[in-house]
């Protein structure tokens, strides 16, 4: 099982079915906040929906196509961080993340995304990590910027959020650039 200690108060652990209640409660408590940027909230209305999500991402992990972990901060699950996809042919990992609203502003996501980036480039020997975020989602966009990712472009109308499209800004960092840091 994947467990990755980041520092004394923060770690990542492969999501499992026993995490479903806490992940659903975290989703429920931050629903209005998360709904601004995440398209799946309306389809996640019960613990069973969360269990279905967990089953799908465990399958993806078993097939070596992705890795979804819970973020553990001070011994409590506070969010999700993942390689939504691992493209082994082109050696690219695509990172996605969300954090419960009460845990914002503690530097958690920058440390988590940095740890996932290091793991992808150093342990998995991938060549590139990408992070995409909605153009207006300034909190999410600040994470790759703080980590030294390069803004590579914008994808117009990349995602449908309930009643409108949002553009995505794409950030990337190469293994050679990360190793220079």
CATH of the domain at 19: 3.40.630.30
Determine contact, residues 150/172, Cβ cutoff 8 Å: yes
Question: Is 151 within the bounds of a domain?
Answer: no
What span, in angstroms and rounded, lies between the C-alpha atoms of 171 and 154?
9
Residue 100 pLDDT level (bands cut at 50, 70, 90): very high
- pLDDT mean over 165-177: 97
Question: Is 180 within the bounds of a domain?
Answer: no
Question: Is 99 within the bounds of a domain?
Answer: yes
Domain residue limits at 51: 3-131
Which pTM does this prediction carry?
0.94
Question: Is 156 within the bounds of a domain?
Answer: no
pLDDT of residue 180: 74
């Amino acid at each position: 099982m994947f467990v990755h200690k980041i520092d004394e108060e923060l770690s990542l652990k492969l999501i499992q079915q026993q995490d479903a209640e806490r992940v659903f409660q975290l989703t429920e408590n931050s629903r209005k906040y998360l709904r601004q940027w995440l398209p799946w909230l309306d389809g996640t209305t019960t613990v069973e929906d969360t269990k279905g999500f967990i089953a799908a991402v465990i399958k993806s992990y078993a097939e070596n196509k992705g890795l979804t972990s819970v973020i553990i901060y001070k011994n409590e699950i506070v969010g999700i961080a993942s390689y939504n996809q691992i493209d082994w042919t082109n050696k690219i990992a695509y990172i996605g993340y969300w954090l419960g609203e009460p845990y914002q502003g503690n530097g958690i996501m920058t440390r988590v995304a940095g740890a996932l980036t290091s793991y992808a480039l150093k342990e998995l020997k991938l060549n590139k990590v990408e992070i995409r975020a909605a153009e207006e989602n300034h909190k999410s966009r600040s994470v790759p910027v703080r980590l030294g990712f390069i803004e590579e472009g914008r994808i117009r109308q990349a995602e449908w959020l309930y009643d409108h499209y949002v553009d995505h800004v794409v950030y990337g960092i190469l293994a050679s650039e990360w190793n220079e840091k």
